[in-house]
Amino acid sequence: DTEVTQTPKHLVMGMTNKKSLKCEQHMGHRAMYWYKQKAKKPPELMFVYSYEKLSINESVPSRFSPECPNSSLLNLHLHALQPEDSALYLCASSQEAGTQPQHFGDGTRLSIL
Amino acid sequence: SQELEQSPQSLIVQEGKNLTINCTSSKTLYGLYWYKQKYGEGLIFLMMLQKGGEEKSHEKITAKLDEKKQQSSLHITASQPSHAGIYLCGADKPGGSEKLVFGKGTKLTVNP
């Protein structure tokens, strides 16, 4: 069982919809991450939060909006996505930003119609 | 930027056979991490290597770090179908970095 919980596991949405992905960890980690993974590719970093503040944005389009309400929760708000945004979205956490290992959730499989 | 090359890209073995997966870095390795991923699922952390010559084992999986060669190897002894999946190596930059760079992965199939 993973210690990082992501919901939902699957999400299908239209290009005009607004939805959110959620991630939760109770390991006391102070860094949380969002990754995007396309089929047969390695995960690519999107965002890093350190002590609930955004520390890295890897030039991600504004249609993806991260939010860290508290040290245990990380959200990814989605709006006006494109079909090419269909992918597996992975959340991870680590003790602090820059420390390893990162612990990953099982991901949300997102499909954009 | 640092790049990690994994070999082979895919591997099919018979149950009970030993196998090795390699991860070679374009730059000096300061921390090397091995993860396993089953299709459509998250990454499971396997091992972390941080010193040249370091070797770690967990059950039937052994990982080594050759700092001089900028390479790490993952060796599975007496493979089982449960070992099947995609093995990813990851590395970070000296001094620590929030950004973990991954290799493209090695897909392992173990036939019963």
**A-B interface: how many C-beta pairs under 8 angstroms?**
58
Task: Report which of A14, A32, A12, A50 is spatially closest to residue A90, judged by C-alpha positions.
Answer: A32
The CA distance from B105 to B7, in Å, is 8
Residue A52 in contact with partner chain B when CB distance is under 8 A: no
Backbone angles phi, psi at B44, to 5 degrees: -105, 125
- Chain B nearest-CA distance from A24, in A, is 14
Summarised one tens digit per residue, pLDDT across range A74-89 is: 999 999 999 999 999 9
By CA distance, what is B85's nearest residue in A?
A40
pLDDT (0 to 100) of residue B98: 73
Backbone angles phi, psi at B83, to 5 degrees: -80, -10
Say whether pLDDT at B29 is over 90.
no
Which of A4, A45, A101 is closest, CB to CB, to B99? A45
Q: Give residue A9's pLDDT band: very low, low, confident or very high (50, 70, 90).
A: very high
Say whether pLDDT at B41 is over 70.
yes
The CA distance from A79 to A19, in Å, is 7
Alpha-carbon dihedral of residues A109, A76, A23, A52, nearest 10 degrees? Answer: 150
> How far are the Cα atoms of A19, A98, B11, B47, B100 from residue B87, in angstroms, in the given order?
31, 22, 11, 11, 15
Chain B CB contacts of A104 below 8 Å:
35, 42-45
Residue A50 in contact with partner chain B when CB distance is under 8 A: yes
Summarised one tens digit per residue, pLDDT across range A31-73 is: 999 999 999 899 999 999 999 999 999 899 999 999 999 999 9
Q: Do A33 and B98 touch (CB under 8 A)?
A: yes
The CA distance from B82 to A100, in Å, is 25
Evaluate whether B83 touches B77 at the Cβ level (below 8 Å): no
Evaluate whether A109 touches A95 at the Cβ level (below 8 Å): no
> How far are the Cα atoms of A2, A8, A85, A94 from residue B101, in angstroms, in the given order?
22, 26, 21, 15
pLDDT (0 to 100) of residue A36: 96
Say whether pLDDT at A2 is over 70.
no
Q: Do A106 and B88 touch (CB under 8 A)?
A: no
Say whether pLDDT at B111 is over 70.
yes
Say whether pLDDT at A1 is over 60.
no
By CA distance, what is A34's nearest residue in B?
B99
Per mean pLDDT, which range of A29-38, B54-63, B93-102 is the poorest?
B93-102
Picking from A40, A100, A104, A109 by the largest number of B CB atoms within 10 A of its own CB, the best residue to mutate is A100
Q: Do B41 and A107 touch (CB under 8 A)?
A: yes
Mean pLDDT of B39-46: 89
Q: 3-state SS string over A46-100?
A: EEEEECCEEEEECCCCCCEEEEEEECCEEEEEEECCCHHHCEEEEEEEECCCCCC
Percent of chain B with pLDDT over 70: 96
pLDDT (0 to 100) of residue B79: 97
pLDDT (0 to 100) of residue B93: 65
pLDDT (0 to 100) of residue B37: 96
pLDDT (0 to 100) of residue A52: 96
pLDDT (0 to 100) of residue B62: 97
Summarised one tens digit per residue, pLDDT across range B75-92 is: 999 999 999 999 999 998
Q: Across the strands, what pairs with B22?
A: B7, B73
pLDDT (0 to 100) of residue B95: 57
pLDDT (0 to 100) of residue A65: 97
